[in-house]
A and B are shown apart, each in its own frame.
Chain A
Amino acid sequence: MLHANLSTRPFYNSRGVRVGLIAVAMIAAGLTVFNAVELWRLQSANRELGQTVNRNENEARDLRQKARTVQQSIDKSQLSLVDAAAREANELIDRRAFSWTELLNHFQATLPASVRIMSVQPQVDDQGRVLVAIRVLSRRQEDLDSFIEALEKSGAFSGVLTRSNSSVEDGALSSVLQAYYHVAPRAAITPPPASEPEKDTPGNRSSANVVAGGRP
């Protein structure tokens, strides 16, 4: 292969070099613009965020201070007294709202002919459920069972349980039942049925079922 250089300063493609330089210059200019814009944008964002943080910290401090002031203005012992009194008042109102009429209506609707109610005592358990103790006198165990079944079927009672059974003089069975009573809202109270002496109303039927007895 022939290698020859006929010039001491040979020519080269200077246009190509110029194009390259222009490209590098454009990259440099672009980078300069990018850096400038980014610096401006990031500094603004940083400043705004700093202001937001300061403003939020001040606001949080003020709010906490106000909350402390309000909390200090509350008399804790008085608060617990009011709380206990309010709970007591609500319990009394709940007891007052308990409808015996509604309860008796349920018994009338479910009581078989051979079972008689002697006494009824409701109480509220720890979970706020109404537990009713019912003393009944039934002719046979089957009659008592059918009463318990009718109570549960009515939907107003659940967890019906025979707490005690004892035989009485004429061979009848005296029992104490307990059941959870699902209290209807006060608005649902229905007044007792109107007096119709000769008709066999639930009231009459229930009356015939009542026998001598005392408090459970």
Chain B
Amino acid sequence: MRALFAIGGDVPLARVLTEHRRVLAPLGALLAINIAVLVLLVLPLRASVQSGGARAEESSLAVAAARAELAEAGATRDGQARATKDLDRFYREVLPADVSAAQRLTQSKLSLLARSHDVVFLQSSTTPETLEDSSLERLVVNFSLSGDWEDVQKFIYAVETLPDFVVIDNLALSESGENNAPLSLTLAVSTYYRARSDGR
């Protein structure tokens, strides 16, 4: 340090430090402690907070995944209950109760329906069928009918819009060569009912 009132003279730094050691010593100690705290505590703690943030995010994702798992399990359970209820209603209220009810529907009701639409019932054949891997059985009825085209159309529409569960599987139309001869209609219909032996 340059000396005052001297020409080209310097004051030794050691003297300056010595003269201010009472202030310099605690100040130096304070600085050293602060740097140590910064390096040993603050910076590692900052890294720890960052990794803690990542762990918290992971745990939030785990909660979301677990919540989704629970929701899915609940949906499966509720879906099964709802499907069982709907199926039960379908079997009880929509399908014929048994083969007799199915036969009444496909024979008597459809014959009456044909008559009410001026379609002449000629003959029918009925075949009950068991369905593989199913609790249902099927009653297939092949009808031979005859009538005018418009009446046949109306009859088909009436069968389709019956409240009862009848499915038209197939239809075939034929006409004799004579003029104004009625059409012959071969209609295959099915209905389904629950098999007796199945306890489902």
A interface with B by C-beta (< 8 Å):
1-7, 10-13, 17, 21, 24-25, 27-28, 31-32, 35, 38-39, 42-43, 45-46, 49-50, 52-53, 56-57, 59-61, 63-64, 66-67, 70-71, 73-74, 78-79, 81-86, 88-89, 92, 95-96, 98-101, 104, 117-121, 135, 189, 191-193, 195, 201, 203-204, 206-207, 210-215
Contact = CB atoms under 8 A, between A and B. Distances in A.
Given A17-B20, A32-B30, A100-B171, 6 more contacts: A12-B3, A25-B23, A59-B63, A60-B63, A85-B134, A96-B167
Contacts of B6: 4-7, 10
A192 B63 contact: no
B14 interface: no
A100 B156 contact: yes
B170 A12 contact: no
Contacts of B122: none
Nearest to B62: A60
B27 A28 contact: yes
Contact of A210 (B59, B149, B166, B188): B149
5 contacts: A49-B55, A85-B83, A88-B134, A100-B168, A214-B186
Given A49-B56, A70-B77, A101-B153, A214 B70 contact: no
Interface in B142-173: 148-150, 153-154, 156-157, 160-161, 165-173
Interface of B: 1-9, 11, 16, 20, 23-24, 27, 30-31, 34-35, 37-38, 41-42, 45-46, 48-49, 52-53, 55-56, 59-60, 62-63, 65-67, 69-70, 72-74, 76-77, 80, 83-84, 86-87, 90, 133-136, 148-150, 153-154, 156-157, 160-161, 165-176, 183-184, 186, 188, 192, 200
Nearest to B174: A212
B165 A96 contact: yes
Contacts of A207: 148-150, 175, 183
Given A85-B135, A119-B171, A49 B153 contact: no
Chain B: interface secondary structure? helix
Nearest to B29: A28
A24 B200 contact: no
A50 B54 CA distance: 11
A117 B150 CA distance: 16
A27 to B, nearest CB: 7
Contacts of A204: 149-150
Given A35-B34, A73-B77, A21 B23 contact: yes
Which 3 A-B pairs have CB atoms at the shortest separation, nearest pair first? A207-B149, A56-B59, A10-B3
A11 B45 CA distance: 48
Contacts of B74: 70
